[in-house]
Chain A
Amino acid sequence: MREVAIVGAAETRFGKSELSYRELAVEAARGALEDAGAEPGQVEALFLGSYSPGTFVHQEHVAPLIASELGLSHIPSTRVENACASGATAFVSGMMAIAAGLYDVVLVVGAEKMTSTPVAETTRILAEAADWENESKVGLTFPGAFALMARAYLHKYGYGREILDAVAIKNHANALANPYAQFHKAITAEDIAKSPMVADPLTLYDCSPISDGAAAILLVAADAARNFAKPAVRVLGFGQASDSLALFRRPDLTTLPAARQAAQRAYRMAGVSPRDISLAEVHDCFTIAEIIATEDLGFFEPGQGGEAARAGATSRDGQIPVNPSGGLKAKGHPVGATGVGQLVEAIFQLRGEAGGRQIDGAELALTHNVGGSGATCVVTILGRAA
Chain B
Amino acid sequence: MAAVQLSPGIPGTVVSYTVIYVPTPEFADLAPYALAVIETSDGERLLGRVEGWQERPLAVGARVTFERADERGPVFRLG
Q: A140-B35, A198-B22 known; 14 other A-B pairs, CB under 8 Å?
A: A120-B28, A123-B22, A124-B25, A139-B20, A139-B35, A139-B72, A140-B20, A148-B35, A151-B18, A199-B22, A200-B21, A201-B18, A202-B18, A248-B15
**Per-residue contact bits, chain A 128-148, to B (CB 8 Å; 1 contact, 0 not):** 000001111111110110011
**Per-residue contact bits, chain A 104-141, to B (CB 8 Å; 1 contact, 0 not):** 00000000000000011101100100000111111111
Q: Are B18 and A139 in contact (CB under 8 A)?
A: no
Instruction: Name the one of B3, B21, B26, B72 contacting A199, with C-beta atoms under 8 angstroms.
Output: B21
Cα-based distance from A216 to B15 in the complex (angstroms): 41
Q: Which residue of chain B has its CB nearest to the CB of A123?
A: B24
Cα-based distance from A152 to B39 in the complex (angstroms): 14
Q: Which residue of chain A has its CB nearest to the CB of B58?
A: A200
Q: Are A144 and B18 in contact (CB under 8 A)?
A: yes
Q: A139-B35, A196-B21 are in contact. Are A253 and B27 (CB under 8 A)?
A: no
Instruction: Name the one of A127, A137, A152, A197 contacting B21, with C-beta atoms under 8 angstroms.
Output: A197
Q: Answer yes or no: A24 CB below 8 A from chain B CBs.
A: no
Q: Answer yes or no: B77 CB below 8 A from chain A CBs.
A: no
Q: List 12 A-B contacts (CB under 8 A).
A: A120-B23, A120-B28, A134-B73, A138-B72, A143-B22, A148-B16, A148-B17, A148-B18, A152-B15, A155-B60, A199-B19, A253-B37
Q: Are A127 and B24 in contact (CB under 8 A)?
A: yes
Q: Are A152 and B46 in contact (CB under 8 A)?
A: no
Q: Answer yes or no: A378 CB below 8 A from chain B CBs.
A: no
Q: Answer yes or no: B33 CB below 8 A from chain A CBs.
A: yes
Q: How large is the interface on B (under 10, 10 to 19, 20 to 34, 35 or more residues)?
A: 20 to 34
Q: Answer yes or no: A249 CB below 8 A from chain B CBs.
A: yes
Q: Are B37 and A247 in contact (CB under 8 A)?
A: yes
Q: Are B26 and A124 in contact (CB under 8 A)?
A: yes
Q: Which residue of chain B has its CB nearest to the CB of A118?
A: B25
> Residues of A within 8 Å of B, CB-based: how many?
35
Q: Are A119 and B22 in contact (CB under 8 A)?
A: yes
- 7 A-B pairs with least C-beta separation: A138-B73, A147-B18, A124-B24, A200-B19, A152-B16, A248-B37, A155-B60
Q: Are A140 and B47 in contact (CB under 8 A)?
A: yes
Cα-based distance from A200 to B19 in the complex (angstroms): 5
Set of chain A residues within 8 Å of B35, measured between Cβ atoms: 138-140, 144, 148
Q: Are A151 and B16 in contact (CB under 8 A)?
A: yes
Cα-based distance from A138 to B74 in the complex (angstroms): 8
Instruction: Name the one of A139, A143, A196 contacting B33, with C-beta atoms under 8 angstroms.
Output: A139
Q: A247-B37, A248-B37, A248-B46 are in contact. Are A136 and B18 (CB under 8 A)?
A: no
Cα-based distance from A33 to B65 in the complex (angstroms): 60
Q: Answer yes or no: A25 CB below 8 A from chain B CBs.
A: no
Cα-based distance from A249 to B48 in the complex (angstroms): 13
Q: Answer yes or no: A246 CB below 8 A from chain B CBs.
A: yes
Cα-based distance from A133 to B74 in the complex (angstroms): 12
Q: Answer yes or no: B63 CB below 8 A from chain A CBs.
A: no
Q: Are B46 and A137 in contact (CB under 8 A)?
A: no
Q: Are A136 and B24 in contact (CB under 8 A)?
A: yes
B53 to chain A minimum Cβ distance, whole angstroms, is 10
Cα-based distance from A149 to B48 in the complex (angstroms): 16
Set of chain A residues within 8 Å of B25, measured between Cβ atoms: 120-121, 124
Set of chain A residues within 8 Å of B32, measured between Cβ atoms: 197
Q: In B1-53, which residues have CB < 8 Å from any A CB?
A: 1, 3, 15-28, 30, 32-33, 35, 37, 45-49
